[in-house]
Amino acid sequence: MAKLKFINILILTVILVNCSTDSSSPKSGWKSFSGDKNIEHKVDSVLSLMTLEEKIGQMSQFSANWSVTGPVMPDDFQPYLEKGLVGSIFNAVTIDGIRKMQEIAVEKTRLGIPILFAYDVIHGYKTIFPMPMGEACSWNLELIKRTAQIAAEEAAADGLHWTFAPMVDISRDPRWGRVMEGAGEDPFLGSAIAKARVEGFQGGTDWRSLKETNTVLACAKHFAAYGAAESGRDYNTAELSEHTLRNVYLPPYEAAKEANVATYMASFNDMNGVPATASKWLMTDILRKEWDFRGFVVSDYTGINELVPHGVAEDDKHAAQLAVNAGVEMDMTGSTYIKYLKELVEEGKVSEKTIDNAARRILEMKFLLGLFDDPYRYLDENRSKATIQKPEFMKTARKAVSESAVLLKNNNNLLPIRKDSPKKVALIGAMMKDSINLNGEWQGRGDRNQSVSLFKGLQEVYQNSAVQFSYAQGCTLNEISSKSINEAVAVAKNSDLILVALGEDFNWSGEAACLTDIRLHAAQRELLQALKNTGKPIALVLFSGRPLDLSWENENIDAILQAWFPGTQAGRGIADVLAGDYNPSGRLVMSFPRNVGQIPVYYNQKNTGRPVNFDNPQGDYRSKYEDSPITPLYPFGYGLSYTTFSISDVKLDKTVMERGGKITITAKITNTGNVDGELVTQLYIRDLVASVTRPVKELKGFQKTALKAGESKQIQFSLTEKDLAFFDITMERKAEAGKFKLWVAQHAADNTNELEFELK
């Protein structure tokens, strides 16, 4: 009976298909995402049946309250749901829960418009992959795309339509807890990864793939410059020039658009005095007009209400007016649209056209997902059971763990710990048996216990090997006692090698989890010192959500493997690396500072008028510190392997690039060691003279290549005029004629192969 209502809409839709006018036109101001006339007519047909209130309902999103990440609004949304005034719900997990709510929307409301269900599927849904910044360290775009695909497939099999990912915020500040969720400090790599993730979630760049039941809508966030928060404090102001914004921070958001991302999320922060949520310049002028984005924008969690404490809105009503007129189509949990937009329209402060187009953009996504054909098409218990945590997904996760790990130090080739060498290895540390913290932030609830601890992974991987393990915890993440130290030291003394696993609690990074001290917790440092005093060699495995200050560890520990928060298959993937079954290939995507005082420290900095002369670093009146080098401890792009590599014979096919032309760069890469491995070859340039100051280095290409021991390969990069372009003194994107330096390098501080070319 109730379903009839829904069918009625469809019938009406079909009738209206034939008589509807061209809605996607300059007159309406609406350009559809799909560009498909048939879908546009359907959207308009539904819209024509809706009251103003119902349209505003589409623009309202509520949280189902059982997995919230922020303050909960007091409004209970059930009455809105029953009146057909809810466009989207998030945090509603489980097929049953979603079905119940969808049934209300579809069968109990006047028009039966289906709800869009969203969730923070950030680095996996049930199969949890390494935290995004960790995974970015793989520099493996195929892998990154694949893990996003798997995340989408699992989420969609469990009833979800939309993920609030990828986060594409560039950040140069490891104090900021959310660095774990992005792709690091570089716009070029960040853009490539943004694209890979959007394509992974959405099943490619074609809107038609959104209808597949193994894809979800993606949401590029947080637009814009959320990662530029002053002093690394979450939600804080971002003060940055338009040049820095456009040349550094915006490229990954724009790359998401190029990959056809369906939605964006407005960021919490204010930028240069205007909160992003109220910024017409960002939401309309840049996003819609410059980039021609045709999906919709959702606010962040109560981001609209927060315009009041930001001090640009008098009250929630005023906040709603500012946000909707800026170009934010959906209010996440704030209830400002549902409460005030009708009045604002009646008072002439918001136009009906604005509401119509916002509702159209949201309705169109529901059509593209196939929800108007069948609102329950994502709710299939059998598909869910067959999909979630498939063995194949677990295998990919294990590989992703190994590929994300970055070997920071390896004195005397302490690692790998060969399975056939009869060694006694002391397993020590707060993270050795931990499984709770391994998923980092944001995973689906209830699955933390499933993650494989390093201890368990080691037992499996070293089964029947010549290696013997002993164990003592030594300390928790933040507590130590003389008893726990003594136990650990006793175990350590009776070993040939200490393998210690330390790091951060998952709550110390992620949203609203910023730090001013990014060293290991004092308890853990005390343990390390005690272990160091035994004189035994130490290999340290670090699980953390951010680059830490590892200056002491770099001085005192023999080998360091940065494992990040690796997810479900953590222990297995890391044990594979420790055993040498996988030769580490991860490269840093964020510089590791030597101390907090250096932050922000990033490779693509400006030269200044008084750069340090590295031949005389103590020279006076230079841009430097009295008490610390200016270089990072480990630079961007850095990471060791169990083998060594060389890059030689770097050649350009020409040294002058004509406008519209191309330069081809070739290089010989060689595995100069005794084991097979993978090299991430990186191409950097420097624009020597320009109308505005340019970075001392900029990444413009990279390739990850497998090389057998002793093997050489020829690789090739190309550069076009477009690759040399930047926002110049007149804020136009173009390449300026002149000289450029070029490096084919193993990391950002590798100057071995330096060449020059010129743009005519």
For residue 309, the minimal CB distance to ligand NOJ (Å) is 16
CA 521, CA 525: separation in Å to the nearest integer?
Answer: 6
CA 619, CA 57: separation in Å to the nearest integer?
Answer: 65
Binding mask of the shown chain, residues 162 to 201, with x at each position contacting ligand NOJ by CB under 6 A = --x-------------------------------------
Residue nearest to ligand NOJ (CB): 164
Asked if residue 113 lies in contact with residue 363, where contact means CB atoms within 8 angstroms, the answer is: yes
CA 194, CA 115: separation in Å to the nearest integer?
Answer: 27
The answer for residues whose C-beta is within 8 angstroms of residue 150's C-beta and 6 or more apart is 124, 127, 129, 393, 396
Of all residues in the chain, what percent are helix, strand and coil, respectively (each to 5)? Answer: 35, 20, 45
- Which pairing describes strands 263-266 and 116-119: parallel, antiparallel, or unpaired? unpaired
- Using rule CB under 6 A, residue 65 touches ligand NOJ: no
Asked if residue 98 lies in contact with residue 117, where contact means CB atoms within 8 angstroms, the answer is: yes
CA 92, CA 98: separation in Å to the nearest integer?
Answer: 6
For residue 69, the minimal CB distance to ligand NOJ (Å) is 4
- Using rule CB under 6 A, residue 306 touches ligand NOJ: no
For residue 236, the minimal CB distance to ligand NOJ (Å) is 13
- Using rule CB under 6 A, residue 441 touches ligand NOJ: no
Among 16, 65, 70, 83, binds ligand NOJ (CB under 6 A): 70
- Using rule CB under 6 A, residue 403 touches ligand NOJ: no
For residue 297, the minimal CB distance to ligand NOJ (Å) is 13
- Using rule CB under 6 A, residue 511 touches ligand NOJ: yes
For residue 417, the minimal CB distance to ligand NOJ (Å) is 39
Which of 39, 271 has the CB closer to ligand NOJ?
271
Question: Which positions are catalytic?
Answer: 300
Which of 74, 391 has the CB closer to ligand NOJ?
74
Which of 120, 576 has the CB closer to ligand NOJ?
120
Asked if residue 477 lies in contact with residue 519, where contact means CB atoms within 8 angstroms, the answer is: no
Asked if residue 326 lies in contact with residue 284, where contact means CB atoms within 8 angstroms, the answer is: yes
For residue 301, the minimal CB distance to ligand NOJ (Å) is 4
For residue 312, the minimal CB distance to ligand NOJ (Å) is 19
SS (H, E, C) 328-345: CCEEECCCHHHHHHHHHH
- Does 222 sit behind a cis peptide bond, omega within 30 degrees of 0 on the bond before it? yes
Among 77, 301, 508, 726, binds ligand NOJ (CB under 6 A): 301
Nearest in space to 320 (alpha carbons), one of 309, 301, 334: 334
Which of 30, 164 has the CB closer to ligand NOJ?
164
Which of 168, 326 has the CB closer to ligand NOJ?
168
Q: What are phi and psi of 744, to 5 degrees?
A: -105, 115
Q: How far is CA 337 from the centre of its chain?
A: 29
Tokens of 720: 């076009």
Binding mask of the shown chain, residues 695 to 734, with x at each position contacting ligand NOJ by CB under 6 A = ----------------------------------------
Within positions 129 to 168, which residues make up the interface with ligand NOJ, using CB under 6 A? 164
Among 69, 213, 705, 720, binds ligand NOJ (CB under 6 A): 69
Within positions 93 to 122, which residues make up the interface with ligand NOJ, using CB under 6 A? 120
Nearest in space to 54 (alpha carbons), one of 133, 92, 109: 109
Beta bridge partners of 482: none
In 79-133 the beta strands, taken as DSSP E runs, fall at 88-90, 116-119
Asked if residue 519 lies in contact with residue 175, where contact means CB atoms within 8 angstroms, the answer is: no
For residue 265, the minimal CB distance to ligand NOJ (Å) is 6
**Which residue in this structure is represented by tokens 């059998």?**
382
CA 569, CA 127: separation in Å to the nearest integer?
Answer: 8
Residues in the interface with ligand NOJ (CB under 6 A) total 8
Q: How many CB atoms lie within 10 A of CB 430?
A: 28
Rule CB under 6 A: which residues touch ligand NOJ?
69-70, 120, 164, 221, 300-301, 511
